[in-house]
A and B are shown apart, each in its own frame.
Chain A
């Protein structure tokens, strides 16, 4: 496709030094991102493979023309956030205890750390990035902030809050944090195709929990996700009849996220998410 790897290519061309830092981070993160598995063995993939998918969807959502309008700082922030957005799923016990007092849990309480991490993993991701910014060689404080906010922004955070999501002026160019967070939130939401969970690494038939069976079965029913300039198309062949309403429910969730992210992009930046609707195409 025309948009394949364009964000990565643009960063390599405009700021080779920043690009080198993303390459080093990818190498380091391949192991770190695996650490979600012992805690969440029945979860759909959140490893480096999912990060790659999210980055690919970001490339496709943005398209070649809008990628041309991104600064080096924005390319860097988006790539790093794609690789780091779920890193909070794999925090170890020590970091869990260190980070938890800094998170606003509202009325939520649970005895089970796994539940807490699952629900607030975007906040754990943000705190992980803050703690390990030097290891990740994020070069400036502005970029640390941008990577944290865009990573956290993949779910739940308020993209209309100008304090949380400002336009930053860095030495590597402008960062439109609200727009980048909107793109990554939508990209994460649409990584729902059957290839989400590699057949080489996952055997969904061994799942026993109903939630896991439903999640894997729903993904296995969506054979392909295709983007056109106007639509997000889910090509569906249900694995079993019971997955039909689950796929429709997921499509509805995608539409909600799409509506929110389109509005955030339009009201908080001069860039756009062009897709307007999500549709199911029966195979």
Chain B
């Protein structure tokens, strides 16, 4: 189960994720991002309420990062300890912008 809440302010978009980002829910986030990123130059993903991220979720984040590298910037905020451990163990803490 994944809940996605969006908040648009001009060319800035904040997406709050709650629940699990895994092989079942990652396509939802990918579709949501696909329809939301046109014209966005500043993407913030708030992961404060995200309980878990699988490899399928990680690849959506990396895809979004690559897409945003072409049109602006992306950052992850409120990354909890569980998710941070996954970023560390996979090496993606050095690739994604985490605040």
When the two chains form their complex, are residues A200 and B23 in contact, meaning their CB atoms are under 8 A apart? no
When the two chains form their complex, are residues B66 and A201 in contact, meaning their CB atoms are under 8 A apart? yes
Binary per-residue interface labels of chain B (58-74) against chain A in the complex, 1 for a CB within 8 Å, 0 otherwise? 11101110110000000
Set of chain B residues within 8 Å of A5, measured between Cβ atoms: 55, 86, 89-90
**12 extra interface residue pairs, beta carbon distance < 8 Å, beyond A19-B89, A26-B94:** A4-B55, A8-B89, A8-B90, A9-B89, A22-B91, A55-B55, A56-B54, A56-B56, A59-B55, A198-B60, A199-B30, A200-B33
When the two chains form their complex, are residues A27 and B94 in contact, meaning their CB atoms are under 8 A apart? yes
What is the size, in residues, of chain B's interface with A at 8 Å between Cβ atoms? 29
Nearest CB of chain B from residue A201's CB, rounded to whole Å: 6
Set of chain A residues within 8 Å of B86, measured between Cβ atoms: 5
Distance, CA A199 to CA B90, complexed state (A): 23
Distance, CA A255 to CA B89, complexed state (A): 32
Q: Which chain A residue lies CB-closest to B55?
A: A56
Known A-B contacts A26-B90, A48-B62, A52-B62; the reply to A195 vs B67 at CB < 8 A is no
**Beta-carbon contacts under 8 Å, A223-272 to B:** 224
When the two chains form their complex, are residues B95 and A30 in contact, meaning their CB atoms are under 8 A apart? yes
Interface residues on A, range: 20 to 34
Nearest 10 pairs of A and B residues by beta carbon = A26-B91, A23-B91, A56-B55, A198-B63, A200-B63, A27-B94, A8-B89, A200-B67, A199-B34, A49-B59
Say whether A280 faces chain B, with CB atoms less than 8 Å apart: no
When the two chains form their complex, are residues B59 and A195 in contact, meaning their CB atoms are under 8 A apart? yes
Nearest CB of chain B from residue A126's CB, rounded to whole Å: 23
Say whether A74 faces chain B, with CB atoms less than 8 Å apart: no
Set of chain A residues within 8 Å of B91, measured between Cβ atoms: 22-27
Cβ-defined partner of B37 (8 Å) among A48, A49, A195, A200: A200
Task: Give chain A's interface secondary structure class.
Answer: helix
Set of chain A residues within 8 Å of B22, measured between Cβ atoms: 1
Q: Which chain A residue lies CB-closest to B54?
A: A4
Q: Which chain B residue lies CB-closest to A196?
A: B59
**Beta-carbon contacts under 8 Å, A55-75 to B:** 55-56, 59
Say whether A123 faces chain B, with CB atoms less than 8 Å apart: no
Q: Which residues of A contact B (CB under 8 A)?
A: 1, 4-5, 8-9, 12, 19, 22-27, 30, 48-49, 52-53, 55-56, 59, 195, 198-201, 224
Distance, CA A200 to CA B67, complexed state (A): 7
Set of chain B residues within 8 Å of A224, measured between Cβ atoms: 23
Set of chain B residues within 8 Å of A23, measured between Cβ atoms: 88, 91, 93-94
Set of chain B residues within 8 Å of A195, measured between Cβ atoms: 26-27, 30, 56, 59
Q: Which chain B residue lies CB-closest to A49?
A: B59
25 intermolecular pairs with C-beta atoms under 8 Å apart: A1-B22, A1-B23, A4-B54, A5-B55, A5-B89, A5-B90, A8-B89, A8-B90, A12-B89, A23-B91, A23-B93, A23-B94, A26-B94, A26-B95, A48-B62, A49-B62, A49-B63, A52-B55, A53-B59, A55-B55, A56-B54, A195-B59, A198-B63, A199-B30, A200-B60
Q: Which chain B residue lies CB-closest to A57?
A: B55
Distance, CA A25 to CA B54, complexed state (A): 21
Distance, CA A190 to CA B34, complexed state (A): 25
Nearest CB of chain B from residue A49's CB, rounded to whole Å: 5
When the two chains form their complex, are residues A53 and B55 in contact, meaning their CB atoms are under 8 A apart? yes
Set of chain A residues within 8 Å of B31, measured between Cβ atoms: 199
